[in-house]
Structure 1
Amino acid sequence: MIKNFLSNKAIWLMIAIIIGLGGCSQKDEIAESNDQLQVVSTSTIIANLTEEIAGENINHVSILPAGNDPHIYEPVPQDSIELEKADLILYNGYNLEPNIIKLINSSGIKAEKLAVGEQVKPLDFDYEGQKRPDPHVWGDAKNGIIMVESIRDKLIELDPENEAIFQENSAQLITELKELDLWIKNQISTIPVEQRKLITSHDAFQYYSQAYGLEIPGTLIGISTEEQPSAQTVKNLVEIIKNTGVKAIFAETTINPTLINTVAEEAGVTLAEGKLYSDSIGVKGSEADSYIKMLTVNTNTIVSALTQE
């Protein structure tokens, strides 16, 4: 009986050792994972570029879900937790994501911070008599290259062991963006000159239009989607559309299309079948679930609508 007890005891001791070793292995894996750079991105565009550059060599969290509007996003408690854990926070800046920027600048956030969009020299807009920088810098693929380079350099600074990977991935991405830039120019050139006019829900396409040869006669609302257009604003935009003779105007994926649809009806023009991606890439698996796809889809939508007979 004693012999059986000792035998059982030995068996249980062996099981305990195996479990303990397994636990140690799991802890080691967690520790190894936690050794990776902890990076938090705000906008979905910056998040996509960061993932393209770094792959699985960082622990990366994107605060804004795809399809969300950064202008009006309200942070949730989990966002504070992620920001507090971060080694590096990548945000657009130029007040694109005002509520998140306030949170980033709070005293509890100790991470390195990079305003990726602010690496681009901005176009200005007038707001109540003052010049403000336009935050929608990614509309120009050449600015996308600047954003890639700034993210790459910051990742290398904080994680030099992975420099070769960051350099290789960013070089490939930059090549693709240069090709995209030329492709967009060629596509826009197929639109009749008199129809190269872009009217959208909000003023998010100045960089795109300046880079690729479009004019923006007017928009329903200004730079930020926080604005609420008045009846007079709607009326004025209808008159602009009638006077310019454009064939189509455009809704956006992050903005309720009701008002821009009303404008189209009153102006007697087509509301383009496809919506433009302005402040966010599309959800995973959609036609515009990356920065490059977003600019590609937008260009195809614009060309198709403005070249219609």
Structure 2
Amino acid sequence: MTRFGRNLHCVLLMCSSVLISCRIAENPPVPDDGPNGIHIVVSLPVVGLITEPLLPDGMSWSAVLPAGGSPHAFEPSPSHGVLVSRSPVLIAVHPHVDGWASRLTRGATIHLESGERHAHGDHEHENGHIWMDPVHVRAIIGELGRELCMAVPETCPDMHDRVAAFSDTLHALDRELVELLSTASPSSPRRPLLTALPFIHPLLDRYDVAYEGPVQRVPGDMVAPSELARLLRASRDQGTRAFVSQQSMMSSALGQIASDAGLELVMVEPTGHGFDSYTAFIRETARKIHAAR
């Protein structure tokens, strides 16, 4: 089989993996309310990581999306509606990413983003994955704090101080990532990456990390074979070493496309599951990007 034929075979495998992952979610556990009797429900774990620094001590949160789930393929069950009904507000990203969240409640909903398009350099993308850009997150936490205060008055006391403290933390994280990702040296050639999906692009764009991609615009929306061939050719010509994708996709298919192109497969957890803070999540993702270049 020629390399082009193997690439087309990989395309079919990747599309099938998306169909396999689009299943009805398991019933979520019903959490205990915090000491103050208030429990906040968010759509994705990373939304909870962004929200947590703005919550008073003792106020808890949980995410609808389960471990290993993709927000694009997720289908909530009736029990998720029960979970959301216990929360005074549902915090989501925006319909491009977690549009299913709007079906879970008729009550108060906070969206982190409007879904407008924005550009960095030569790349333009949906704001949907804005949580990957800590500078953008820093810009929206003030409004998130104000909306939380309106929806859940118990969060109002000292909200200004909590927003300011988290803003300082994010500013320090930004300075750290500038040093890690944006500063080149003769011993660190900063090779471009090839991306499977655009979830990682806001982080790459923010810190001027060169890349080709995505191979899929959204799960199941594969680029044309001619575009795939162009991406692989450009990656080879620029000395690309790594193919960046997300852990919830079928690794065997992604391994095939990486193998065909002679690239290291770098898997990133895009939803924040398994991390205890937003800064830890972004820092670990940035370290993987740095090592891949």
TM range (shorter): 0.7 to 0.9
2:169 pairs with one of 155, 172, 176: 176
Rounded Cα–Cα distance in structure 1 between residues aligned with 2:230 and 2:168: 42
**Structure 2 residue runs without a partner (length 5+):** 1-32
Rounded Cα–Cα distance in structure 2 between residues aligned with 1:64 and 1:113: 16
Rounded Cα–Cα distance in structure 2 between residues aligned with 1:36 and 1:146: 30
1:244-278: CA deviation from partner (whole Å, max 9, x where unpaired): 22122223222222233222222223334xx2232
Is the 2:149–2:156 Cα contact (8 Å) retained in structure 1? Answer: yes
1:217 pairs with one of 193, 212, 228: 212
Decide whether aligned partners of structure 1 residues 164 and 122 sit closer, same or farther in structure 2, where only a CA change above 3 A counts.
farther
- Amino acid of the residue matched to residue 269 of structure 2? Y
The structural deviation recorded for 1:55 is 4.6
Alignment partner, residue 137 of structure 2: 144
Rounded Cα–Cα distance in structure 2 between residues aligned with 1:61 and 1:175: 25
The structural deviation recorded for 1:194 is 5.8
**Structure 1 residue runs without a partner (length 5+):** 1-31, 126-130
Tell me the TM-score normalised to structure 2 length: 0.75
- Amino acid of the residue matched to residue 249 of structure 1? F
The structural deviation recorded for 1:241 is 1.5
Tell me the TM-score normalised to structure 1 length: 0.72
Is the 2:89–2:152 Cα contact (8 Å) retained in structure 1? Answer: no
Alignment partner, residue 205 of structure 1: 200
Rounded Cα–Cα distance in structure 1 between residues aligned with 2:72 and 2:260: 28
| Matching of residues 50-69 of structure 1 within 5 Å | 50-58=51-59, 60-69=61-70
| Matching of residues 78-117 of structure 1 within 5 Å | 78-101=79-102, 103-104=103-104, 109-117=105-113
Larger radius of gyration: 1
Cα root mean square deviation, aligned: 3.0
Structure with the larger RCO, 1 or 2 (CA within 8 Å, 6+ apart): 2
Decide whether aligned partners of structure 1 residues 55 and 257 sit closer, same or farther in structure 2, where only a CA change above 3 A counts.
farther
Alignment partner, residue 269 of structure 1: 263
The structural deviation recorded for 1:59 is 5.2
Q: Among the aligned pairs, what percent are the same residue?
A: 16
Rounded Cα–Cα distance in structure 2 between residues aligned with 1:140 and 1:132: 13
| 2:289 counterpart of 1:302 | yes
1:68-96: CA deviation from partner (whole Å, max 9, x where unpaired): 21111110111111233432111100410
The structural deviation recorded for 1:148 is 2.4
Rounded Cα–Cα distance in structure 1 between residues aligned with 2:117 and 2:205: 12
Rounded Cα–Cα distance in structure 2 between residues aligned with 1:52 and 1:68: 24
Rounded Cα–Cα distance in structure 2 between residues aligned with 1:216 and 1:94: 26
Rounded Cα–Cα distance in structure 2 between residues aligned with 1:228 and 1:189: 30
The structural deviation recorded for 1:116 is 1.0
